[in-house]
Structure 1
Amino acid sequence: MTDTMIAVIGGSGLYEIDGLEGATWQSVETPWGAPSDQILTGTLGGVKMAFLPRHGRGHVHSPSTVPYRANIDALKRLGATDVISVSACGSFREEMKPGDFVVVDQFIDRTFAREKSFFGTGCVAHVSVAHPTCARLSEACLKAGWDAGITMHDGGTYLAMEGPQFSTLAESKMYRESWGADVIGMTNMPEAKLAREAELCYASVAMITDYDSWHPDHGEVDVTEIIATLMGNADKGRALVARLPRLLGAERHPCPHGCDRALEYAILTAPDARDAAMVAKLDAVAGRVLNG
């Protein structure tokens, strides 16, 4: 067993964790550059916690410029075991209303301007993302949300778009009607893929702010309405996060779904053919298999 460290990556509207004891902002250096911001660490309910504002304090990073690799590496380097993404999204389903939360279990990745892997020339690896979120961690998020009185939806497909513009009406209808997506956002990819490569359990809590542009009674996305809903969602998000330590506990057992062993057979490059500089960059995310 190891110590649990719950890492929360906060999206639009969520910039802090309430009640964190011994809270300290830490700078973390990574081989992939600087993360979005310093990372707030402390304990909550006797469980180690880390909080990283995805867009940086003051919202300085667009979805395309978020340093996803540095963020995941930094959290892993600090000892994170479980990563919960909290992010704003639009809804493609009438029953998934603004103010509701969706615990996402699938993704369609339509991003194109981001580095999506820690691996590459000199050290090639292929991990499975057939089930890109951790069922154990997702269940804990569901229970925490229900306990906080939030309307939660168990499962949903998240369409990750590049942004920063919102969808056209034609795109919104296609994602909803032809592709079967349930919610749309700009930040969970490649974050989920990188978390899997780093052998971190990952869960995604999508906070609905709007109906995108498909809904005949709502028209195009209204940023002023989104911001108003964001503020209410942020309060709910903090309430959900506050309940996670009790559900996950201070002692961490191996993930029953194998998230923490995702690299076991994933690295294909022979040991004597691996690039030493690349291997050195992978010390935090893949050290267990490369140096074991």
Structure 2
Amino acid sequence: MAAVKLGVIGGSGVYDIEGLEEASWVTVSTPWGDPSDQVLTGRLGGTPLAFLPRHGRGHVHSPSDLPYRANIDALKQLGVTHVLSVSACGSFREEMAPGDFVLVDQFIDRTIRGGKSFFTAGCVAHVSLAHPICAELAALAARAARGTGVRVHEGGTYLAMEGPQFSSLAESHMYRDHWGADVIGMTNMPEAKLAREAELHYASLAMVTDYDSWHPDHGEVDVTAIRKVLAANGANARATVAALAGLLEAGAGCSTGCAEALDYAILTAPEKRDPALVAKLATVAGRVLG
């Protein structure tokens, strides 16, 4: 098995990782543009780690403007094999309360942003997203999170909405009552899709900050209240990452086929492939494109 390197994409409230040995912020250039920020590299519990603040230090990027392709490409350039995505979310379930962590296992993508795939005209590919999360990585992340004392829910459907505005009351009820979503956020798509195309093991740790707008006793989303929950969630998220790094030292299996996602996905005949696009795909798809 290839050596494990953990990549962490930090969401709202998580802009750095403490305790890294040999820590260094490095600049990574990608053919898809610049990533959200420099990447913090080092070792944590003996495991190589690369941390990327999704919104940039100081929270300068909106969910709709994030360079999703550049972020995934940058992590893979650095040798990352496993990605833990950390993000804030709203909850559609009473039992998934603010302060809880949810290891989601499904997505509904309602985003309309561009850049949802590395593969465009000139090199077409279709990867499977029936099971978009690496089950083994998610299980290890749940185990790590429980060690912090936070309440953890394993499994749940994440509704990815187009931001930066929060959902309307009608939308909130639709997502909860008719679509069966469990949590709502703005950033896990197209991130999860791109991670699968890049053959990375991907898991999503959604940190509940609020009840969206459906809950009769909580009203509309309040950013001030969210900030208070984020402060506590951020500390628990960093502790989870530290514990996960230790659990990954021995390696992790995969029943989802994450690292072989492109084996039969590329449909464009070799002689019809756009050389310029193939060159851009060197990092994410070099294993199958040669």
TM-score, normalization by structure 2 = 0.99
- The 2-side partners of 1:152 and 1:134 are apart by 17
What is the CA distance between 1:114 and its match in structure 2?
Answer: 2.6
| SS of structure 2 residue aligned to 1:264 | coil
Over the matched positions of the two proteins, sequence identity in percent amounts to 70
User: Does 2:288 correspond to 1:289?
Assistant: yes
- The 2-side partners of 1:148 and 1:253 are apart by 21
The one-letter amino acid of 2:229's match is: T
Over residues 63-90 of structure 1, what are the superposed CA-to-partner deviations in whole Å (9 max), with x where a residue is unaligned?
0001000000000011000000000000
The one-letter amino acid of 2:269's match is: A
Over residues 155-181 of structure 1, what are the superposed CA-to-partner deviations in whole Å (9 max), with x where a residue is unaligned?
000000001000100000000000000
- The 2-side partners of 1:203 and 1:11 are apart by 14
Q: Contact (CA 8 Å) 1:254, 1:260: kept in 2 or not? A: no
The one-letter amino acid of 1:232's match is: A
| SS of structure 2 residue aligned to 1:284 | helix
**Residue 271 of structure 1 corresponds to which residue in structure 2?**
270
Over residues 233-262 of structure 1, what are the superposed CA-to-partner deviations in whole Å (9 max), with x where a residue is unaligned?
001101110101221115x46633210000
| SS of structure 2 residue aligned to 1:2 | coil
**Residue 121 of structure 2 corresponds to which residue in structure 1?**
121
The one-letter amino acid of 2:286's match is: G
Gaps of 5+ in 1: none
Q: Contact (CA 8 Å) 1:105, 1:132: kept in 2 or not? A: yes
The one-letter amino acid of 2:266's match is: I
**Residue 188 of structure 1 corresponds to which residue in structure 2?**
188
**Residue 63 of structure 2 corresponds to which residue in structure 1?**
63
Q: Contact (CA 8 Å) 1:2, 1:253: kept in 2 or not? A: no
What is the CA distance between 1:264 and its match in structure 2?
Answer: 0.2
What is the CA distance between 1:2 and its match in structure 2?
Answer: 2.1
**Residue 156 of structure 2 corresponds to which residue in structure 1?**
156
Q: Contact (CA 8 Å) 2:137, 2:252: kept in 1 or not? A: no
| SS of structure 1 residue aligned to 2:188 | coil
The one-letter amino acid of 1:285's match is: V
- The 1-side partners of 2:270 and 2:288 are apart by 11
- The 2-side partners of 1:206 and 1:119 are apart by 27
The one-letter amino acid of 1:263's match is: L
1:84-233 equivalences under 5 Å are 84-233=84-233
TM-score, normalization by structure 1 = 0.98
**Residue 255 of structure 1 corresponds to which residue in structure 2?**
254
Q: Contact (CA 8 Å) 1:96, 1:153: kept in 2 or not? A: yes
- The 2-side partners of 1:223 and 1:18 are apart by 26
- The 1-side partners of 2:267 and 2:166 are apart by 39
Measured on the aligned residues, the alpha-carbon RMSD in Å equals: 0.9
- The 1-side partners of 2:223 and 2:127 are apart by 37
What is the CA distance between 1:16 and its match in structure 2?
Answer: 1.2
Over residues 175-229 of structure 1, what are the superposed CA-to-partner deviations in whole Å (9 max), with x where a residue is unaligned?
0000000000000000000000000000000000000000000000011000110
Gaps of 5+ in 2: none
1:23-42 equivalences under 5 Å are 23-42=23-42
| SS of structure 2 residue aligned to 1:34 | coil
What is the CA distance between 1:150 and its match in structure 2?
Answer: 1.2
Q: Contact (CA 8 Å) 1:11, 1:55: kept in 2 or not? A: yes
